[in-house]
Amino acid sequence: MSEATTPATGKEQQRPSFWGRGAYELFLEKEGIPVHTGVAVADLRTADLAKWPRLDARGAYIRLAGAEDTDNAYLIELDPGRSSAPEKHLFEEYFFVLNGRGTCEVWNDGEEPASFEWQEGSLFSVPLNTTHRLHNGSGSLSARLLAVTTMPIMMNLLHNTDFMFNCPYVFRDRYDGRKEYFDGAGTLYTGRVWETNFVADVRRFQLKDWLERGAGGKNIRFEFANNTMVSHVSEFPVGTYKKCHRHGPGYHVILLNGSGYSYMWRENGDEWTEVNWKTGTLFVPPGRWWHQHFNTGSDPARYLAIRWGGNKWKLAEYLDNQGVDKDVTEGGNQIEYEDQDPQIHRTYLERCAQNGVKVRMDEFPVRV
């Protein structure tokens, strides 16, 4: 048996300045564009951007607290008639078009690009490690898109940006070069799941009833590009609010239509965080925080959520959305109307009255 190793002798050295910091955080500093932080972005369509040399566009990163650096978002804006620089990377990426129209080219090295058109409201995902670029199809108007990606966790794990952006491996299980890959065709599976690679306009996509979540709500869940990231769209009527629920971090909630507010709070916490939202607002509830959405406007409230944890590829339990429609007293992650804090309903009545909105919650069991 060898002798135990003894500690190194000599004078201790000062740790380098990058120690104790993630590769993702260091990368953001090098990018040199704005980073929006906090709990929400009031309006993605008007949020500040700056020149972004790496992508030959304008942009900003979005690093909200609720993402917990498991995923992130960024904004990219193309001037009239301009294109972004080509890039590929070892993280998944969803795009949602905030305004404008154009095309996207996608290709594996050595193959002909596939091209498809996008417009305001379009949702698509660039397959993992494919080269891609965006083109603004208007000669007079800019185009702005939101991307949600798995960059933070991948970058922090690998901490090698050269490999992240220059890996030669072709993921054939993600993208096989088919020209019809982005034609919008799809398959509907049980559980309100639509598997596709492109949706022309999620604001008008037909949803399915999801009675377990209350308030006459509807929902559809998307699987794109064989990702581990997924997305869903939910809608609830005028004069209603959804049941309280919780799940893991990283759910980027983008308001597609409507106005209202959401409460978020820790388990057994006394202080509630309130987010007032409208069309264009983005917020991310922190992992395992209870949260609840309230429609106080004159239109149905519809939102898009892009997140970790799939229906197809399961990740860690805390990243999935299991049990968000099951009573917490039965092992789920939902609080039924009759078990919520009575102040929640009283506040909602007051705010709807201020807006002249008729409350329809008498159609559902609510403790007042």
- The pair of structure tokens assigned to 165 is 């952006």
pLDDT at 335 over 90: yes
The share of the chain scoring above pLDDT 90, in percent, equals 81
Task: Name, in order, each residue with C-beta under 8 angstroms of 83's C-beta and a sequence gap of 6 or more.
Answer: 56, 133, 134, 135, 136
pLDDT at position 365: 66
> For residue 311, what pLDDT band results from cuts at 50, 70 and 90?
confident
pLDDT at position 18: 77
The rounded distance, in Å, linking the Cα atoms of 120 and 191 is 27
pLDDT at position 325: 84
Of the candidates 227, 165, 170, the one whose C-alpha atom is nearest the C-alpha of residue 196 is 227
Q: Please count the other Cβ atoms lying within 10 Å of the Cβ belonging to residue 105.
A: 17
Q: Summarize the confidence of residues 156-182 as an average pLDDT.
A: 94
pLDDT at 4 over 80: no
pLDDT at 194 over 60: yes
> For residue 12, what pLDDT band results from cuts at 50, 70 and 90?
confident
pLDDT at 364 over 80: no
Q: Summarize the confidence of residues 18-35 as an average pLDDT.
A: 92
Of the candidates 205, 191, 227, the one whose C-alpha atom is nearest the C-alpha of residue 309 is 227
Q: What is the DSSP letter of 325?
A: T
The share of the chain scoring above pLDDT 70, in percent, equals 95
Most confident range (mean pLDDT) of 9-13, 40-44, 212-216 is 40-44
**Residue-averaged pLDDT of the chain:** 93
pLDDT at position 103: 98
User: 159 and 18 in contact (C-beta within 8 Å)?
Assistant: no
- The pair of structure tokens assigned to 310 is 């799939």
Give percent helix, percent strand, percent coil of the chain, each to the nearest 5. 15, 35, 50
Of the candidates 354, 216, 243, 367, the one whose C-alpha atom is nearest the C-alpha of residue 296 is 354
DSSP assignment of 276-322: EE-TT-EE-PPTT-EEEEEE-SSS-EEEEEEES--SSS---GGGS-T
Q: Summarize the confidence of residues 248-265 as an average pLDDT.
A: 96
Q: Summarize the confidence of residues 132-139 as an average pLDDT.
A: 98
Q: Give the three-state DSSP class for 154.
A: helix
The rounded distance, in Å, linking the Cα atoms of 74 and 93 is 10
pLDDT at position 82: 98
Q: What is the DSSP letter of 268?
A: T
β-partners of residue 198 are: 124
The rounded distance, in Å, linking the Cα atoms of 215 and 345 is 13
What are the structural domains of the chain? Answer: 23-180 (2.60.120.10), 187-363 (2.60.120.10)
Beta 282-283 vs 252-257: how paired, if at all?
Answer: antiparallel
> For residue 17, what pLDDT band results from cuts at 50, 70 and 90?
confident
The rounded distance, in Å, linking the Cα atoms of 201 and 235 is 15
pLDDT at position 344: 94
Instruction: Identify the residue with better confidence: 45 or 271.
Output: 45
What phi-psi label fits residue 81: left (phi over 0), alpha (psi between -120 and 50 degrees) or beta? left
User: 196 and 202 in contact (C-beta within 8 Å)?
Assistant: no
pLDDT at position 178: 87
Q: Write out the H or E segment, with its range, that includes residue 172.
A: none
What is the gyration radius of the CA atoms in the chain, in angstroms?
A: 22
pLDDT at 368 over 60: no
